[in-house]
């Protein structure tokens, strides 16, 4: 069944059908709860402008609740063979049960604004899951940072030993990185969290639709006011979200790379849990960091998403174009990948063992050269003279490190400022205000016609 097909139109060629429908039917299963909630909000709005009667609204809402509670929420919802998409399936189910009243649900809507509102609601939900699992990883990193703040680690620049660091700093660095990642994701969420419903095919409707009402009913922060621009957000919102996700992916890939390096015998700073390693079919001594390597690869793969989306919509004029359907095939599955990466990263961090007293090895003595320079400066030697003096000691092989480091600078070895980092994370997560959406859905699913 096709919502757009006329009585006298010819049967679609099977090859053309497969080519144009693509993966819509399987991906639309993900959109089913949002399409139904959107239909409920739209029906309430239609009744408010007298395009539906109260009795009709009651029938529609009761049937929608049944579909939601007995099919969608139970994971049983399916799109029947021969039905094109989720919009058609829900309209079919409503019409099958309540007759002509079910056919009225599409008044004032296009599949264009339907899929837009579905995708925005889907993205809101998945972003919430990403925030939740990013927060779990953040918490694990902070716990590790506090537990190992006294355990020193070589710091590197240019992959050469530079200055003393610590595992407290290393774990904490990735924790704070996640804070900024979520701040960026919050900006993407704000772009997504605007209601396009009522924009129709991109040019509005002659019906006096109340778009402010559906905005409130669906928990959106605001409207996409201009109906042309509302349709132009298709592709743009996916690009913005995927760009934000790449920041999280970059944090994960860098951390995974560090773990691979630190786990190798040439470094030997950490010990990976057995579950995170595999052996070799020929070398009995091997414990390969396969999980960290796959995490690195999957995270790096995610970084390509914005480019892929950007290329699909290159040089498109305003208005809807069917290429937009291909973007759905990119953005819907990506959340399974990023959530899997976050879960694996959290397990890896939680089970990572660090080695102590690493800097006792004489090969790391030069890490303390700056400490020696600073000691001379504290005792009155001008910095440049102190630098030359210590440099001369190193060249002559006379350098003796002062390992009694005392760093009090905010955010350094002796003053991690993890409490401040946790405060920033609280502020970042609170900025999403997911509770507003949950409250709107709860109200919608319990709506009673007066």
Residue 121's domain spans which residues? 112-147+164-207+221-359+417-434
Q: Which helix (H) or strand (E) holds 194?
A: strand 194-195
Q: At residue 1, does pLDDT exceed 60?
A: no
Return phi, psi of residue 153, to 5°: -145, 145
Q: Are 255 and 137 in contact (CB under 8 A)?
A: no
Are residue 179 and residue 202 in the same domain, yes or no? yes
How much is the pLDDT for 17? 65
Are residue 194 and residue 283 in the same domain, yes or no? yes
State the pLDDT confidence band at 9, using cuts at 50, 70 and 90: low
* Dist. CA 305–CA 402, nearest whole Å: 48
Q: How high is the mean pLDDT of the chain?
A: 92
Are residue 245 and residue 120 in the same domain, yes or no? yes
pLDDT, greater one: 4 or 279: 279
Q: Are 426 and 182 in contact (CB under 8 A)?
A: no
* Dist. CA 141–CA 383, nearest whole Å: 36
Q: At residue 128, does pLDDT exceed 90?
A: yes
The string of pLDDT tens digits covering residues 317-375 is 888 888 888 899 999 999 999 999 999 999 999 999 999 999 999 999 999 999 999 99
Would 382 be classed as within a structural domain? no
**Residue 86: which CATH number?**
1.10.275.10
Are residue 130 and residue 76 in the same domain, yes or no? no
The string of pLDDT tens digits covering residues 214-265 is 999 999 999 999 999 999 999 999 999 999 999 999 999 999 999 999 999 8
pLDDT, greater one: 82 or 14: 82
**Residue 271: which CATH number?**
1.20.200.10
Would 373 be classed as within a structural domain? no
Q: At residue 4, does pLDDT exceed 60?
A: no
State the pLDDT confidence band at 16, using cuts at 50, 70 and 90: confident
How much is the pLDDT for 440? 97
How much is the pLDDT for 27? 84
Would 274 be classed as within a structural domain? yes
**Can you read off the two tokens belonging to residue 163?**
């200055």
CA 355, distance to chain mean position in Å, is 33
Structural domains of the chain, count: 2
Are residue 183 and residue 260 in the same domain, yes or no? yes
Q: What percent of the chain has pLDDT over 70?
A: 94
* Dist. CA 401–CA 361, nearest whole Å: 12
The string of pLDDT tens digits covering residues 393-439 is 999 999 999 998 889 999 999 999 999 999 999 999 999 999 999 99
Q: Are 192 and 124 in contact (CB under 8 A)?
A: yes
Are residue 233 and residue 337 in the same domain, yes or no? yes
Are residue 33 and residue 57 in the same domain, yes or no? yes
**Can you read off the two tokens belonging to residue 127?**
């972003």
């Amino acid at each position: 069944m096709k919502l757009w097909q006329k009585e006298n139109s010819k049967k679609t060629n099977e090859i053309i059908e497969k080519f144009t429908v693509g993966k819509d039917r399987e991906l639309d299963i993900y959109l089913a709860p949002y399409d139904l909630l959107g239909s409920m909000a739209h029906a309430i709005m239609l009744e408010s402008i007298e395009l539906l009667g109260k009795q009709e609204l009651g029938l529609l809402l009761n049937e929608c609740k049944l579909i939601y509670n007995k099919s969608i929420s139970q994971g049983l919802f399916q799109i029947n063979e021969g039905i094109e998409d989720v919009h058609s399936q829900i309209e079919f189910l409503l019409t099958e049960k309540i007759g002509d009243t079910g056919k009225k649900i599409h008044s004032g809507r296009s599949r264009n604004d339907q899929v837009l509102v579905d995708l925005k609601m889907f993205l809101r939900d998945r972003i919430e899951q990403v925030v939740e699992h990013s927060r779990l990883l953040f918490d694990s990193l902070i716990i590790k940072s506090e537990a190992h703040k006294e355990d020193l680690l070589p710091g590197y620049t240019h992959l050469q030993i530079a200055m003393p660091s610590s595992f407290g700093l290393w774990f904490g660095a990735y924790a704070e990185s996640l804070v900024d990642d979520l701040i960026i994701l919050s900006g993407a969420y704000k772009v997504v969290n605007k209601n396009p419903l009522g924009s129709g095919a991109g040019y509005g409707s002659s019906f006096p639709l109340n778009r402010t009402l559906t905005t409130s009913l669906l928990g959106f922060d605001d409207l996409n006011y201009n109906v042309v621009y509302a349709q132009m957000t298709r592709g743009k919102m996916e690009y913005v979200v995927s760009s934000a996700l790449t920041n999280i992916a970059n944090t994960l890939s860098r951390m995974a790379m560090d773990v691979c390096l630190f786990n190798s015998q040439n470094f030997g700073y950490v010990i990976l849990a057995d579950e995170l390693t595999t052996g070799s079919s020929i070398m009995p001594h091997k414990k390969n960091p396969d999980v960290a390597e796959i995490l690195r690869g999957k995270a790096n793969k995610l970084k390509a998403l914005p480019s892929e989306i950007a290329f699909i919509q290159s040089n498109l004029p305003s208005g809807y174009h069917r290429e937009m359907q291909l973007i759905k095939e990119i953005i819907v599955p990506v959340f399974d990948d990023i959530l899997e990466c976050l879960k694996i990263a959290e397990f890896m961090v939680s089970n990572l063992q660090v080695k102590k007293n690493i800097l006792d090895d004489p090969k790391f003595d030069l890490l303390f050269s700056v400490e020696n320079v600073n000691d001379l400066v504290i005792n009155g030697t001008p910095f440049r003279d102190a630098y030359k003096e210590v440099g001369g000691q190193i060249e002559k092989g006379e350098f003796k490190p002062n390992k009694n480091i005392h760093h009090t600078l905010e955010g350094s070895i002796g003053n991690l400022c993890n409490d401040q980092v946790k405060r920033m994370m609280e502020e970042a997560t609170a900025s999403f205000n997911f509770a507003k959406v949950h409250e709107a859905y709860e109200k919608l699913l319990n709506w009673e016609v007066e």
